[in-house]
Chains A and B, each alone.
Chain A
């Protein structure tokens, strides 16, 4: 029989503990992510509410106009509970938010949650399609550029992505509308059709705003992925895989992609807020009554609960999306599993 190895620093035998250890680690890393999520959510909502409070806006002026008497103002503020201490108001509001109640609009007295719910579908459709386009084209361009590293396709893609990343979405949007809706007349210039009315009409109304929104994301994902893949290709483990006789396709998909994808995924997490923010302008151009338009109108009117509602939903969307990105990152590169 063979003698024991000289691995003097070998860890103690722990075969039975392996599985439990793996599960424990997965739970621990998810718990760590949640532990980040909760304070970020609390801080986000607190700042959101504080901003509304500091704005000094009051429903009284919105409803009564300039001619309001101090008594009438006080009566309305009392009705809305605005005469209570700030922290009590915040606690009250946060409690409702957790129950899905975002309050009532000062402007028209309608439920903010209800109004947002209708509009969020439009915005999320546009942002979602933009996200898919950004991922698909970003990954395609990034992978191609890395594959043809330093040759002409790489240079062409780099030039193209640099060019489109500096074009603001509203310019792209207007340009696209001018070409495809006004010039070629193959796509509608404005409006929205719910998905229930059919995938074709829904997509034909969304595709132009989504393309306009996606440029920035596609460009950044492509650039990060290219660099990530190029440096992963330089890794010794790629030489190792070649020497073991693995084919180029397997090396790319199993060994290179997995280790080069992390920066692109991280950038995706950063880009998501941009997609939501960009929607405000894009919706205005393409006549979509989405949540961006709702937010800008509410802000102009001084409708504090509506603005707060939009911000809370945005905070939740962004934090949840980043949580997902981090979970994926931890799964793809377990050696980097050191928290968020």
Chain B
């Protein structure tokens, strides 16, 4: 049981204090974190923002005493509940963890034992640490699963990790983390890689737990908006340095450091602000005149200008999908991956596809490419029915390069053994008819078009940054002058700066060359920032389609409204939470 005799005098007592904490890698003799100081008061929330490698996760690991081998705290002090953790023995650490401090991380599935039912793992902690009997521990475990709003806790209790979704698993992990009523909970990228709507649910749960059981939270994320939503105080980290630290509102509205400004700007350009789910006045902003701020914050939805020069309605569509159905498996294992999907993309148009994982986004793209068997409906590309091409026709169609594809992870979609120039040239070489010099010329032209320096031509993918690699992938896709470019989560694996840069590039390419785009993403901000029209997929069906500005400002379907309301923004308040709860309830009924 956690000591709970905290009088009102303790209200402002710090539960966790870091004083100039430095972390050093002894094997490489380099300092990884150059001094982090923070003070977390009871019931408070401190956020740490930064990209991978910034030292934010190492700082958390130091607080939990789980730094990797050869990495140790080389300076400063960490005080947990008034106690310096530096001299703790292994037994003392074991007693402290779980009881006073706990944590949840990114990729919840990997943080549970795959061979033991999840309920047993909740029960285990209660049995071992609190000495409860099996029956009592099980009962308490089910109460905890209920407390984190898992529908049907008895059912969840009996499942294995591979039988539950990421959002459900994160709830299970939160249930374990709070089971011994610790004072401090560290949420290290706890919602990263979850669907937007699921992420909002987890964040709402953390806020609720903080209020209900008096948790103090350390929230770590690469996403400024996630941290902004929850935290009173924010630390911005980069390369092991705290570049900016202060109250959340100050950081958001008057960012001092260049990097913080970049993070804020990203949300202005490719984020959503405010809430479309209900009336929600923007946070009043007072920007000191001395601070150069790019634009007023928060911004309204940034949707591309409706391009007046669009092709006439009568033009033959680049892509026409009619009543498309795709299913996998058969009999009882049959799963409908896409049902009755219809859409049209005209020349030069950009259409966004958004939906949670498993909604059928990639299935749609793969059906257009002929990579999956279509069970109903038809696909026409540039007027040609390609639904049921024979193997040979399919290959010929592929060689023509009318439709090209850009994957999420450029490192895995580029051959690591080929120079990037070779990879980009490949679509031309397999078509034949061009000599070496002509191909070389075309590759250089493509490199310039995607703003890559020609000095990178002979590099291997492993030698380039993530953003450069994705430019290479786009160059390879564009070299065969496709009519349609399918981009499947092209910016999801990139960090903030590169995400913005790639989206800018795509916007630019769209205006300079005549190519239509099908832009798939789970991130509404990216989709809204680039698409003329947007299609919303939910549970294998298109539930809404229309002009992007309309979808974002006046979503009709409950799922779209939840999605718009869930997008992390730099300014959102408790009203949104209530709205979301209502929408979730509505979706369950329907």
Contacts and interface: CB of A to CB of B under 8 A. Distances in A.
A interacts with B: yes
Interface of A: 2-11, 13-15, 18, 22, 235-237, 239-248, 250, 254-255, 258-259, 332-335
Query: Which of B110, B111, B148 has the most chain A CB atoms inside 10 A of its CB?
Result: B111
A15 B152 contact: yes
B585 A237 contact: no
B585 A14 contact: no
A5 B97 contact: no
A333 B149 contact: no
B114 interface: yes
B176 A244 contact: yes
B112 interface: yes
B463 interface: no
Contact of B128 (A4, A5, A243, A250): A250
23 contacts: A5-B171, A7-B167, A7-B168, A7-B198, A8-B559, A15-B152, A15-B155, A18-B154, A18-B158, A236-B111, A237-B110, A239-B105, A242-B97, A245-B94, A245-B98, A245-B102, A246-B125, A247-B128, A254-B113, A255-B116, A258-B115, A333-B115, A335-B114
Interface in B111-146: 111-116, 124-125, 128-129, 146
Given A18-B158, A242-B66, A255-B113, A8 B151 contact: no
B160 A334 contact: yes
B356 A335 contact: no
B111 A240 contact: yes
A243 B103 contact: yes
A239 B198 contact: no
B110 A244 contact: no
Contacts of B111: 236-237, 239-240
A8 B167 CA distance: 9
Contacts of B171: 5, 7
B262 interface: no
A259 B115 contact: yes
A249 B53 CA distance: 32
Closest 6 CB pairs of A and B: A245-B98, A6-B201, A5-B149, A245-B97, A240-B111, A236-B110
Interface of B: 64, 66, 90, 94-99, 102-103, 105, 107, 110-116, 124-125, 128-129, 146-152, 154-155, 158, 160-162, 165, 167-168, 171, 173, 176-177, 180, 197-198, 200-201, 204, 356, 358, 559, 562, 580-581, 584-585, 587-588
A23 B422 CA distance: 55
Contacts of A13: 151-152, 155
A14 B97 contact: no
B368 to A, nearest CB: 24
A5 B112 contact: no
A6 B200 contact: yes
Contacts of A235: 110
Contacts of A2: 146-147, 149
Given A6-B167, A18-B155, A237-B114, 15 more contacts: A6-B200, A6-B584, A7-B150, A7-B151, A7-B198, A10-B151, A10-B152, A22-B158, A237-B112, A240-B105, A242-B66, A243-B66, A243-B98, A247-B94, A335-B114
A5 B584 contact: yes
Contacts of B94: 245-248
Query: Which of B94, B96, B198 has the most chain A CB atoms inside 10 A of its CB?
Result: B94
Contacts of A240: 105, 111-112, 173
Given A244-B98, A245-B96, A333-B115, A8 B125 contact: no
A3 B584 contact: yes
Contacts of B356: 8-9
Contacts of B66: 239, 242-243
Given A6-B167, A7-B151, A236 B107 contact: yes
Contacts of A8: 197-198, 356, 559, 584, 587
A2 B146 CA distance: 9
A335 B160 contact: yes
Nearest to B156: A10
Nearest to A247: B94
Contacts of B148: 5
Given A10-B151, A245-B98, A246-B94, A5 B201 contact: yes
Contacts of A4: 149, 151, 584-585, 588
A245 B99 contact: yes
Contacts of B585: 3-4
Query: Which of A4, A243, A250, A259 has the most chain B CB atoms inside 10 A of its CB?
Result: A243
Contacts of B103: 243
A234 to B, nearest CB: 10
Nearest to A256: B113
Contacts of A247: 94, 128
A135 B99 CA distance: 39
Contacts of B113: 237, 241, 254-255, 258-259
A247 B90 CA distance: 9
Nearest to B101: A243
A253 to B, nearest CB: 12
A6 B115 CA distance: 26
B24 to A, nearest CB: 20
A190 to B, nearest CB: 46
A243 B102 contact: yes
A84 to B, nearest CB: 45
Contact of A243 (B64, B201, B358): B64
A13 B562 CA distance: 23
Nearest to A6: B201
Nearest to A10: B151
Given A248-B90, A332-B115, A333-B114, A15 B154 contact: yes
B125 A244 contact: yes
Contacts of B158: 18, 22
B143 to A, nearest CB: 12
Contacts of A22: 158
A123 B66 CA distance: 51
A333 B204 CA distance: 34
Nearest to A150: B69
Contacts of B98: 243-246
A331 to B, nearest CB: 9
